[in-house]
Structure 1
């Protein structure tokens, strides 16, 4: 999730990102767009980073995700606690991102019920 300001630099950045076709993974459930974006940002000059890119310290400022007690989630929590915990949804966060979840409607209903209970 990201915000982008309309500018000549942004248009060039989006064009460069769009043309990183080597990251497309045909036959995979992953599209490659996130890997391409990370690659592009990692290879910006320090001047471009300072002038044009801001990365939030806490992912949940605008892109939280629900946490479920699965083996994968527990593994992330144990081995990547600071990173994982910075993105977990809590009441009042700007947005919840349901990427990678099978039962999106179930998660939406669960969070909606939690919000009504907390009022």
Structure 2
């Protein structure tokens, strides 16, 4: 998906979907989890069509405080740059935002 022009929307959509599914599969195995995380993180940062779902997937899988802060930033960027996705990601934005507040109060 990284090599497909954003102007070629059909191909870009399909390649991003392929990248999303591959990243999600990589997350399921311990030995490939970091590669899957990296793939989904890059899609959440630079994707067009599957960006919100990549960020949402990372949000639902994150446990470590440092990862939560990174994923919260990804979700906030998605909300800012793709406001039409707000309803989809709002729950995770709120959850991670609350978690960040709790960590900062400790």
TM over 0.5: no
Give the TM-score of the pair, scaled to structure 2.
0.32
| Structure with a larger share of its residues in helix | 2
Structure having the higher Rg: 1
Normalized against structure 1, the TM-score is what?
0.29
Q: Which has the higher contact order (CA 8 A, sep 6+)?
A: 1
